[in-house]
Structure 1
Amino acid sequence: MRQIKRLFTRYIHDVIIAVEAILANKMKSMLTALGIMFGVAAVISMLAIGRGAQQEVLEQIRLVGVNNIIVSPSDIALGAPNAAGSDSRRFSPGLTLLDAMAIEEAIPTVSRLSPVISMNYHAVLEGRSYPVVLEGVSSNYFELLNINLVEGKVFNQVQSEGGFPVAIIGDNIRNRFFSTQDPIGRYIKCGNTWLKVIGVIERRDFTASASDEMGISSTDNKIFIPTQTMLMRFRDRARVNPEVLESIARGGGNANSGNNGNGVVTANHQLDKIIVQVDETEHLSVTADIITRMLLRRHSDIYDFEVTVPELLLKQQQKTNDIFNIVLGAIASISLIVGGIGIMNIMLASVWERIREIGTRQAIGASRKDIVVQFLAESTLISVTGGMIGIVLGVVLARLIHVMADIQTIVSLFSVLVAFGVSATVGIVFGYIPAKRASEQDPVESLRH
């Protein structure tokens, strides 16, 4: 303990001399620290962008659900390359509820699924009208997409199979029609049908890119009803009416059927989507391939559907983001190295400028260690001060990127500690050579200058 105290007493004087030298040359010290400042700011802002991108991908995975496969209709119907008789007239019923039932029953790796039917309506109550998206789903839908209810409950089996007029509403609809009362048990009208509200969905943060890339949209303006309720009480797009039969008999097409010019006739898709959840992540690709083969057989070898695995696409996106962030981090780190070289150059020049000071200190008893500590403390203090200012600049820059470029950024404690540690290390490493050079000066030669 006494030895430590003696060392502290001896070398604290050298540190004080280093501080005085920095204060005496404020402009030079600030210019020396600029490289470190901007290097640390760049590292923190780049890591913040990378952390934000990672968080966004995780949020998208949460929105689309874990281990989910999405089957959606395709606008263009194409015959399979190996389909026999491709020039003959073939018919596809489109994506139907029977397809969803077949997937659930025939594929053992499927744990649950939900068909989705979406239509635009106006919700009406007490003379007030509000545009909404009416979606027919199964009770599994809310588990598949991690949607929670703040009030009420989801459809039970009797309500789902019987096509009961029950509904679960989004947060905006609740605020629009039931801002001053409990909506549970009350009725709201869509089209010509009165729906009984049995649940309210919690408001959830929504990532716009998830909607653009994965077909996921906010639940706040939606009313969810059982699939059978949608088909029985609103509209069943797969239902064939006399007008459609007459049109097909004449060889034409209408809103319910069409011919793509290659002998392929397609009906309107009954479903807008089928969301399938697989029991294990490693079964995603295999299950998606099986679903594709099954639907091809059911659709007369016509590709009028698309099978997408959002989680695999998002993980690939995350991998790309990671590579991009590594490159950005490496480029930002170069600024720190350049800043360190700048510190070394300035300190080497400072040794030559202050050679008489070094000689005087050595003449009155300063050892080589004292000279090393003095110049090493000076370079380290400049680097650490620049690093602290750079941390503030990095946080501000990350915030500006978020506000001005609408890019999610997250500044973590880890990135701040790494940047600060690197700045201190740069000061020590690049300051050692000038400090050692100063300590090796001959006192007699130094005093002659």
Structure 2
Amino acid sequence: MIIDKILLEKLKSNFQEAFWFIKTNKVRTFLTALGIIFGVASVITMLAIGNGAEKEILSQLELVGVNNIVVTPIPDEKNDNLSEDEEESNKTESKRFSKGLDLLDVKNIKNQIPSVKIVSPEIILNTYVINNGRQHSVKLIGITNDFLTTSNIHLEKGKIFSNYQIKNALPVCIVGKKVEKKLFTGESAIGKQVKVKDVWLQVIGVIEEKLISDKAQENLGIRDLNEDIYIPTNTFLVRYKDRKIIVDDVNVKNTNNNGPKKKNYRGNYHQVDKLTIQVFNSDELKATAEVLSKMLVRRHNDILDFEISIPIQLLKQQQKTKQIFNIVLSIIAGISLLIGGIGIMNIMLASVLERTKEIGIIRAIGATEEDVILQFLSESVLISVGGGIIGIILGVIGAYVIEIFSGIETILSLSSILTSFFIAVMVGLTFGIFPAKSAARKRPIEALRSE
């Protein structure tokens, strides 16, 4: 106990002496601590950006699903400025005919690819909804109940489509949360009627609100699911629009006895606007996508009028890019801390030279090498701790500034703040040892003789 008290008294005395020395050399101390300040601020900001990026990736994974493959059709685009070679290529291609992406493809994918768990088709129509005499733009989406599974969304209230409603193409719908708030402010939409284009639909369900950032919509090509109205695919095809029937009629009318004189512009002839295929195992994603591509090319008469993407692979690539970015930031932060540590060591060495006589006096009156080491280490630790505290404040402010002005989400955590503070203290200890030992090795007589 007596030894502990003596050690505590020594530490207290050394830190008081260190604090006095730092106080009398404010400018030099501040300049010494700049490396630590910027290093700690960089560490905190970097970790905040990394945490935000990780959260964004996880939230995007929830939106696209871990085991999903997405098939999107490519419409026939009219181009009046084709070269002769392209015209010749079009004439050859016009001899082949693709039926487009349709519900028969959905059925075949389910039946013929063993690794496929569920297939969710979507048919999309940009239209309007009328409420209280006002017209609002809306996306009407024809879906099956599997859409909720592949999109990882749940109903907040109400029910999913029943088999009877699907089979008989009944005018029922499920609305997004934002649609409910817009059309039925302050009350539930369940059981209410909405007029979408020329058809009255009864609301039987409301999906729970799902936060989807603008960046996620842009990067992943997904919609804000909260702003859509969903109906069964049969209801969509019977009561609204079936592009397959319309396009087939147009092709028949455009063909006369002499045959078509030129390639017909078909526009969007696909019955389905999007297919989401969910596999049982994520390891089967790539192989399933290859089999799926071959099957659809064959069914579409060797015409590649669709695109296949695996969202999780895109996200992994983004994650890899962000990890590289975080590594670069870590290196920059490490360099700042290294420079800060070197700065502390240089200043402490200079301090040792300036205080040679002081060292000789305290050694002459009985101070041990250990006492001298503790005194100089106390100064370096105080400098690094002070720089660490200022760095923490700047790092927190910097994280908020980055989020406000750049739109990059940053998440501060207690662990990142404690880690950066611990690093600052360790830098002070590590780079203060050499100057402290250098001071302690000086012989009292030589120190007192120096000028």
75 and 329 in structure 1: CA distance in 2 versus 1, 3 angstrom threshold = farther
Match of 1:262 in 2: none
CA distance in 2: counterparts of 1:398 and 1:213, whole angstroms: 23
Map 1:62-101 onto structure 2 (within 5 A): 62-75=62-75, 89-101=95-107
> Could you say what secondary structure the match of 1:340 adopts?
helix
Amino acid at match of 2:309: T
131 and 313 in structure 1: CA distance in 2 versus 1, 3 angstrom threshold = same
Q: Is residue 43–residue 420 contact of structure 2 (8 Å, CA) maintained in 1?
A: yes
Map 1:37-52 onto structure 2 (within 5 A): 37-52=37-52
Match of 1:395 in 2: 396
Residue range with higher mean Cα deviation, 432-441 or 18-27: 18-27
Q: Is residue 43–residue 419 contact of structure 1 (8 Å, CA) maintained in 2?
A: yes
Match of 1:28 in 2: 28
Match of 2:228 in 1: 222
Q: Does 1:139 align with 2:145?
A: yes
> Could you say what secondary structure the match of 2:215 adopts?
helix
Cα displacement (A) at 1:349: 0.5
CA distance in 1: counterparts of 2:367 and 2:46, whole angstroms: 45
116 and 88 in structure 1: CA distance in 2 versus 1, 3 angstrom threshold = closer
Q: Does 1:332 align with 2:347?
A: no
Match of 2:254 among 244, 247, 264: 247
Q: Does 1:113 align with 2:119?
A: yes
372 and 248 in structure 1: CA distance in 2 versus 1, 3 angstrom threshold = farther
Amino acid at match of 2:254: S
Q: Is residue 94–residue 263 contact of structure 2 (8 Å, CA) maintained in 1?
A: no
- State, as a whole percentage, how many aligned pairs show the same letter: 46
Q: Does 1:152 align with 2:149?
A: no
Match of 1:103 in 2: 109
Q: TM-score, normalised by structure 1?
A: 0.92
Match of 2:192 among 164, 186, 190: 186
> Could you say what secondary structure the match of 2:412 adopts?
coil
Q: Does 1:238 align with 2:244?
A: yes
CA distance in 2: counterparts of 1:237 and 1:391, whole angstroms: 60
Map 1:252-401 onto structure 2 (within 5 A): 252=262, 257=266, 268-401=269-402
CA distance in 2: counterparts of 1:333 and 1:186, whole angstroms: 61
Q: Deviations over 1:339-382 (max 9, x none)?
A: 00000001100111111221121122111110000000110111
Cα displacement (A) at 1:57: 1.4
CA distance in 1: counterparts of 2:76 and 2:364, whole angstroms: 90
Residue range with higher mean Cα deviation, 426-435 or 240-249: 240-249
Amino acid at match of 1:219: L
CA distance in 2: counterparts of 1:269 and 1:159, whole angstroms: 24
Cα displacement (A) at 1:136: 0.5
Cα displacement (A) at 1:244: 3.1
Match of 1:165 among 171, 188, 209: 171
Q: Is residue 247–residue 253 contact of structure 1 (8 Å, CA) maintained in 2?
A: no
Cα displacement (A) at 1:254: 5.5
Q: Is residue 136–residue 227 contact of structure 1 (8 Å, CA) maintained in 2?
A: yes
Residue range with higher mean Cα deviation, 49-58 or 427-436: 49-58
CA distance in 2: counterparts of 1:293 and 1:395, whole angstroms: 52
Cα displacement (A) at 1:73: 0.7
Match of 2:60 in 1: 60
> Could you say what secondary structure the match of 2:195 adopts?
strand
148 and 87 in structure 1: CA distance in 2 versus 1, 3 angstrom threshold = closer
Higher share of residues assigned strand: 1
RMSD over equivalenced CA pairs, Å: 1.8
Amino acid at match of 1:369: E
> Could you say what secondary structure the match of 2:153 adopts?
coil
Q: Is residue 210–residue 217 contact of structure 1 (8 Å, CA) maintained in 2?
A: no
CA distance in 2: counterparts of 1:426 and 1:311, whole angstroms: 40
Amino acid at match of 1:244: N
Q: Tell me the number of residue pairs that the alignment of Structure 1 and Structure 2 aligns.
A: 433
Amino acid at match of 1:435: A
Cα displacement (A) at 1:86: 6.3
CA distance in 1: counterparts of 2:172 and 2:435, whole angstroms: 79
CA distance in 1: counterparts of 2:75 and 2:239, whole angstroms: 26
Q: Is residue 297–residue 304 contact of structure 2 (8 Å, CA) maintained in 1?
A: yes
Q: Is residue 344–residue 434 contact of structure 1 (8 Å, CA) maintained in 2?
A: yes
Amino acid at match of 1:195: L
Cα displacement (A) at 1:251: 3.8
Q: Does 1:430 align with 2:436?
A: no
Q: Is residue 65–residue 146 contact of structure 1 (8 Å, CA) maintained in 2?
A: yes
Match of 1:80 in 2: none
Q: Is residue 109–residue 278 contact of structure 1 (8 Å, CA) maintained in 2?
A: yes
Amino acid at match of 1:197: V
76 and 130 in structure 1: CA distance in 2 versus 1, 3 angstrom threshold = closer
Q: Is residue 56–residue 207 contact of structure 1 (8 Å, CA) maintained in 2?
A: no
CA distance in 2: counterparts of 1:211 and 1:177, whole angstroms: 24
> Could you say what secondary structure the match of 1:238 adopts?
helix
> Could you say what secondary structure the match of 1:183 adopts?
coil
> Could you say what secondary structure the match of 2:201 adopts?
strand
> Could you say what secondary structure the match of 1:277 adopts?
strand
Q: Deviations over 1:299-337 (max 9, x none)?
A: 011110011100122112212221221122112210000
Residue range with higher mean Cα deviation, 313-322 or 221-230: 313-322
Cα displacement (A) at 1:237: 0.7
Uncovered stretches (5+) of structure 1, i.e. residues with no partner = 78-84, 259-266
Amino acid at match of 2:270: H
Amino acid at match of 2:252: L
Amino acid at match of 1:388: I
> Could you say what secondary structure the match of 1:306 adopts?
strand
> Could you say what secondary structure the match of 1:91 adopts?
coil
CA distance in 1: counterparts of 2:367 and 2:68, whole angstroms: 72
